[in-house]
């Protein structure tokens, strides 16, 4: 089941962080860059981020999260994370499908991921996204941006 998460609630923010940290540690290992900003998040920074959060629950366990901001007809995904013990179960796809079907007047989805994160790149391409740009953020870290018209 997918439902909205009140990220301003410290208990829910902690639950999200308990998925975010292990998930981004895997990405950091894949891309060879261990100073990713999401690894520095805290309950407080999540509460103040201004993103809308939706969680995928199995029974009562939060297994995956998608967060986004919607502006000017664009849904910008900020996080699409799944706890590593739930990888390869279709949870990311279910979360992506959920926001596409609840687009609320938006016509485009955008997202970025580490250029060396081949599993994420393959996921977005498989789900109809097109690469729009690749930018170097700092030495050792570049991001690939994607766009999908919905």
Q: Report pTM.
A: 0.95
Domains held by the chain: number: 1
Q: Whole-number mean pLDDT of the chain?
A: 97
Residue 26 domain boundaries: 2-149
Bin 88: left if φ > 0, else alpha if -120 < ψ < 50, else beta: left
Per-residue pLDDT at 89 exceeds 90: yes
Question: Alpha-carbon distance 63 to 55, whole Å?
Answer: 7
- The total of other beta-carbon atoms located within 10 Å of residue 59's CB is 6
Per-residue pLDDT at 48 exceeds 90: yes
Tokens of residue 129, six digits? 């996204």
Q: pLDDT tens digits, residue range 61-77?
A: 999 999 999 999 999 99
Question: Alpha-carbon distance 50 to 79, whole Å?
Answer: 12
Q: Give the per-residue pLDDT at 104.
A: 83
User: Which of these, 116, 100, 108, lies nearest to 146 by C-alpha position?
Assistant: 108
């Amino acid at each position: 089941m997918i439902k909205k998460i009140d990220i301003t609630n410290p208990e829910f923010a902690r639950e999200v962080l308990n998925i975010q940290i292990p998930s981004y540690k895997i990405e950091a290992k894949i891309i060879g860059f261990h100073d990713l900003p999401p690894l520095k998040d805290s309950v407080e920074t999540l509460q103040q981020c201004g993103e809308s959060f939706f969680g995928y629950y199995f029974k009562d366990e939060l297994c995956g999260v998608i967060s986004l901001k919607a502006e000017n007809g664009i849904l910008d995904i900020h996080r699409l994370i799944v706890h590593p013990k739930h990888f390869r179960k279709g949870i990311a796809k279910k979360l992506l499908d959920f926001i596409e079907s609840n687009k609320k007047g938006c016509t485009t989805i955008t997202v970025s991921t580490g250029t060396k994160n081949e599993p994420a790149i393959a996921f977005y391409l498989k789900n109809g996204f097109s690469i729009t740009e690749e930018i170097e953020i700092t030495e050792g870290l570049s991001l690939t941006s994607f766009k999908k018209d919905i």
